[in-house]
Structure 1
Amino acid sequence: MAGREYPLERTRNIGIMAHIDAGKTTLTERILYYTGVNHKIGDTHEGTATMDWMAQEQERGITITSAATTCHWTPEKEGKPDKTQPEYRINIIDTPGHVDFTVEVERSLRVLDGAVGVFDAQNGVEPQSENVWRQADKYNVPRMAFMNKMDKMGADFFGSCNQLITKLGKNPVLVQIPIGKEDDFKGIIDLFEMKAYVFNGDKGDDIAVGEIPADLASR
């Protein structure tokens, strides 16, 4: 992989930013697993997360410094890589969520092509989420919001999305909506393709693509 060369138009620097415990590093671990970089999913609380490389991070279960890694991605069609499309090199920068390490986030923002703001679907927009969002505004970094922990008790996707309006002053455009929540969370609906993606298996990597459930299609 190290020997691959990619033109700039197929190379992206993407940052992951959020309030502490929203699940940034856990999300990054899943990305590395699903793109084939890692063959095992690391855990922040067990000190086995790839991105938490410092001894202090492994002991405390939090990210202290920004860490970078690389994965490769091919555009997909119905949940499978589309082999007719070119592959992209994605450089991921996992940033700290604790307010004490905010300066690490700002340093990373200077080199990003885009960022993913991770939000806990139970807690919505939290204080550090607001801080890093304002920092991204300062550097004009394009962003998307990812609602995490939809399987958590009290998860509220639409309520959390509404907080993007009331607390961040943004007008989010939904491209996916969840199928179920909490213990009944099953997958997502892609609003571009108008297809349902249901995640099966222990790690959610067995994806069934089908029609939108009738109770959601009528919304």
Structure 2
Amino acid sequence: MSEPMKQIRNIWISGLLDPSKVRMTERYWLYTGDLEQMEEARKQVLKSEKYYESFVKQESWKSTRRDLNLKEGDSHSHCKWIYNPTSDSIPADVTFFNWRKHYKMSVIDTPACVDFTPEVDNALRAFDAAVLVLSGVDGVQDQSIAVDKQMVTYQLPRLVFIDNLDHKGANLWEVVNQARSKLQHHSAAMQVPIGLEYNFKGLVDLVQLKAYFFHGSNGEKVVVGEVPGYMDALVSGKRRELIKTVSEVDDKLAEAFGGDKPISAADLEEAVRRTTIARKFIPVFMGSAFKYKVPVELP
């Protein structure tokens, strides 16, 4: 790898017992131009769920792999799931993409099942940061708590991605509150969704105050526009909440927040970056990995 070390970022995405991280990684390949057309992975998602269920039932790994017709490369970024019968383990896998011409992003894919905690612990030593994926429907689960504890143990700067906003019963703000109460996160939303469940159409960036609309069958076309007028009050309130939460752990932003001048996007972005790296603040992003509707600015 020819890139200087300072341009390389090793990222861990985990938290749900489903292949959401696969979809998220492929979406960023599409954003960067490394992938021209999205993989159709719906069948692979179902295979993955059955694969984990078979492990819980202690069925044969080899027969399960054969019966489900699992093979390496079913999606561009999927963990290769190579079972080692001598150690009852599955090793981590690494995929790469370039981001904004400045960074080489390495996404390290580890088995999501809690039964592979030793494999995850071994891989954690290589991470620079982590993304904790929570379900917008089910909220904070036992798996979420276990993974978050691992991130804390290894002192990883992290952010939260709330998935499944397109699903029936999605309750975004309840999940945000659960992350604060059950995981003790000092966090705030970085975005506001434009619609929920079947009406989920896009996201409003609370830092830049821009709206991102997802178009196309797979949300592959992202259109940047103005914030819908009917959302002005909600967006204003959530942006103020974001600024207040960050200012509680950042003196520089707190000083600006107490003044008469409005907080600029640049000042807020820098404060979020400082406090996230210092592990004092956890930004919350959102979307639908299954529908490839994920934030452009997540990395």
What code does the residue aligned with 2:3 have?
Answer: Y
Could you tell me which residue of structure 2 aligns to residue 72 of structure 1?
98
Could you tell me which residue of structure 2 aligns to residue 32 of structure 1?
29
CA distance in 2: counterparts of 1:212 and 1:218, whole angstroms: 11
- Give yes or no for contact 1:118–1:148 (8 Å, CA) kept in 2: yes
Q: Structure 1 or 2: larger strand share?
A: 1
CA distance in 1: counterparts of 2:32 and 2:123, whole angstroms: 23
What is the correspondence of 1:72-91 to structure 2 with a 5 Å cutoff? 72-74=98-100, 86-91=101-106
Cα distance per residue 1:2-51 (max 9 Å; x no partner):
7xx32222210011111312722232232333333334425233652232
CA distance in 2: counterparts of 1:107 and 1:215, whole angstroms: 48
Question: Which SS does the other structure have where 1:218 is aligned?
Answer: helix
- 1:52 equivalent to 2:79? Answer yes
Cα distance per residue 1:78-127 (max 9 Å; x no partner):
xxxxxxxx421000012222111122222222111101111111111111
Could you tell me which residue of structure 1 aligns to residue 122 of structure 2?
107
Larger Rg: 2
- Give yes or no for contact 2:79–2:110 (8 Å, CA) kept in 1: no
Could you tell me which residue of structure 2 aligns to residue 142 of structure 1?
157
Q: TM-score, normalised by structure 1?
A: 0.83
CA distance in 2: counterparts of 1:166 and 1:194, whole angstroms: 28
Q: What is the Cα-based RMSD across aligned positions, in Å? A: 2.1
Could you tell me which residue of structure 2 aligns to residue 121 of structure 1?
136
Could you tell me which residue of structure 1 aligns to residue 218 of structure 2?
203
> What is the CA distance between 1:205 and its match in structure 2?
2.1
CA distance in 2: counterparts of 1:163 and 1:22, whole angstroms: 22
Given candidates 6, 11, 21, the residue that maps to 2:3 is: 6
Question: Which SS does the other structure have where 1:199 is aligned?
Answer: strand
Aligned residues: 199
Instruction: Pick closer, same or farther for the CA change 1:138–1:42 going to 2, 3 Å.
Output: farther
- Give yes or no for contact 1:115–1:141 (8 Å, CA) kept in 2: yes
CA distance in 2: counterparts of 1:121 and 1:22, whole angstroms: 15
Runs of 5+ in structure 2 lacking a partner? 48-69, 84-89, 235-299
Could you tell me which residue of structure 2 aligns to residue 41 of structure 1?
39
> What is the CA distance between 1:52 and its match in structure 2?
3.1
Q: Structure 1 or 2: larger helix share?
A: 2
- Give yes or no for contact 2:10–2:107 (8 Å, CA) kept in 1: yes
CA distance in 2: counterparts of 1:179 and 1:65, whole angstroms: 39
CA distance in 2: counterparts of 1:120 and 1:23, whole angstroms: 10
Instruction: Pick closer, same or farther for the CA change 1:65–1:128 going to 2, 3 Å.
Output: farther
CA distance in 1: counterparts of 2:20 and 2:142, whole angstroms: 15
> What is the CA distance between 1:142 and its match in structure 2?
0.4
What code does the residue aligned with 2:80 have?
Answer: W
Q: TM-score, normalised by structure 2?
A: 0.62
- Give yes or no for contact 1:16–1:92 (8 Å, CA) kept in 2: yes
